[in-house]
Amino acid sequence: MFKKDPIQIVTFRSYGTANHLYAKGRSIQDEDIDLNQTGLFNLLRNSWKRFITDKVTNAKLTLTLPDNRTISTITDSQGYFLIDETIENLLPLTDEEGWITFSISFTENKSGRKIQQNNKFKGEILIPKNTAKYGVISDIDDTILHTGLTSRLKWAVIKNTFFKSADKRIPLKGAADFYQKLHDGKSGSDCNPIFYVSHSPWNLYNYLEVFLEVNNFHKGPILLRDFVNPFAKKYKAEKPQKQTEIINILDTYPKLPFILIGDSGQHDPDIYKEITESNPGRILAIYLRDVNRRKKMERVKKLYKDYTRVPVLLVEDTEAAINHAKDQGFI
């Protein structure tokens, strides 16, 4: 009962440039979550552990690049770390897809707890190849993964999050194939980067990472948000976290245009339109998946009525999106 859990560093797949490193992760106690466990009790227990995490605050960390250069950082009051620094000559460290694999470790261990994995945790950042013709920024919730966010009572969200393991979640039909085609591009070897942006909290990072992997979605950075304590005092943010992440991506790659993919059920239509308006020439197309809610679809149709700045497709099935992408010369 009073056993002290070992500590670990969870890294989040991120992105960078030839001269800039953007790495993020969290230092927490190892709650021994097995994503492959089934059964009602195990699923409930693992779901509880994902949200009730014991963070390791003010921990000094050292990130080591493949060429042995090191960067120091420290975790904040929630256990998160963020390295957002200019680092020269990163391109030679990438693999054929543009990924850099680094290691990160605790610089010291004042807690006296056991450190998992011999104090060496892997992390990855993506530097898009110069062959890329465009990037893809995709929502996750109800765009490639049915979550139930649009259900009135949100029961579907609870059921899907707490009662289904990641490898049992069903992706939306044909989505993985569409994303692979976009990654390959028209030449078949463009290596266009794909970024996954979600309103889901970082607590679900490993869960979503497993879902994307087992369903053969092309590998890309996964950008989520902090978990909000429902009892904490709320402050209105200037922009939604998802919108901020998308703007950061656009700013990081100023010469790369993007395709935006989302759904018609939540805030994607409004966010995507605002981003397109404020970044002229940067967005090639917008794909919005129909979530089968008539009132929401009518609102989206009205929002984009007579809109001509970029092509906008309300997608009922993935085949229609693939055909449209072919017509536009994206694939």
pLDDT at 118 exceeding the cut of 80 = yes
Phi, psi for residue 154 in degrees, rounded to 5: 60, 15
Query: Quick one: pLDDT at residue 157?
Result: 39
More confident residue, 295 or 193: 193
The residue among 93, 126, 159 that closes a domain is 126
Confidence of residue 240 (pLDDT cuts 50, 70, 90): confident
Query: Quick one: pLDDT at residue 319?
Result: 93
**For residues 127 and 15, is the Cβ–Cβ distance under 8 A?**
yes
pLDDT at 52 exceeding the cut of 80 = no
Indicate the range of 42-56, 93-107, 122-136, 180-194 predicted with least confidence: 42-56
Structure tokens at 127: 């530097």
The verdict on residue 25 lying in a domain is yes
Separation of alpha carbons 8 and 96, rounded Å: 29
Percent of the residues in the chain that have a pLDDT greater than 70, as a whole number = 79
Query: Quick one: pLDDT at residue 170?
Result: 56
Q: Based on the domain organization, do 224 and 111 belong to the same domain? A: no
pLDDT in tens, 260-270: 999 887 789 99
Query: Quick one: pLDDT at residue 295?
Result: 72
pLDDT at 169 exceeding the cut of 50 = no
Q: Based on the domain organization, do 117 and 49 belong to the same domain? A: yes
What's the domain count of the chain? 2
Confidence of residue 154 (pLDDT cuts 50, 70, 90): very low
Mean pLDDT, all residues of the chain: 84
Three-state helix/strand/coil letters over the chain: CCCCCCEEEEEEEEEEECCEEEEEEEEEECCCCCCCCCCHHHHHHHHHHHHCCCECCCCEEEEECCCCCEEEEECCCCCEEEEEEECCCCHHHCCCCCEEEEEEEECCCCCCCCEHHHHCEEEEEECCCCCCCCEEEEECECCCECCCCCCCCCHHHHHHHHCCCHHHCCECCCHHHHHHHHHHCCCCCCCCCEEEEEEEEHHHHHHHHHHHHHCCCCCCCEEEECCCCCCCCCCCCCCCHHHHHHHHHHHHCCCCCEEEEEECCCCHHHHHHHHHHHCCCCEEEEEEECCCCHHHHHHHHHHCCCCCCCCEEEECCHHHHHHHHHHCCCC
Q: Based on the domain organization, do 205 and 153 belong to the same domain? A: yes
Q: Based on the domain organization, do 164 and 273 belong to the same domain? A: yes
Mean pLDDT, residues 266-276: 92
**For residues 103 and 61, is the Cβ–Cβ distance under 8 A?**
no
Indicate the range of 3-17, 50-64, 126-140 predicted with least confidence: 50-64
Confidence of residue 32 (pLDDT cuts 50, 70, 90): low
The verdict on residue 2 lying in a domain is no
Q: In CATH, what number is assigned to the domain containing residue 265?
A: 3.40.50.1000
pLDDT at 119 exceeding the cut of 80 = yes
Percent of the residues in the chain that have a pLDDT greater than 90, as a whole number = 58
Q: Based on the domain organization, do 275 and 307 belong to the same domain? A: yes
Q: Based on the domain organization, do 74 and 192 belong to the same domain? A: no
**For residues 60 and 9, is the Cβ–Cβ distance under 8 A?**
no
Domain that holds residue 146: 135-327
The verdict on residue 26 lying in a domain is yes
Q: Based on the domain organization, do 139 and 121 belong to the same domain? A: no
pLDDT in tens, 87-107: 999 999 999 999 999 999 999
The verdict on residue 121 lying in a domain is yes
**For residues 100 and 125, is the Cβ–Cβ distance under 8 A?**
yes
pTM value is: 0.85
The verdict on residue 1 lying in a domain is no
**For residues 210 and 167, is the Cβ–Cβ distance under 8 A?**
yes
Separation of alpha carbons 100 and 238, rounded Å: 33
Confidence of residue 208 (pLDDT cuts 50, 70, 90): confident
The residue among 96, 126, 156 that closes a domain is 126
Mean pLDDT, residues 234-245: 73
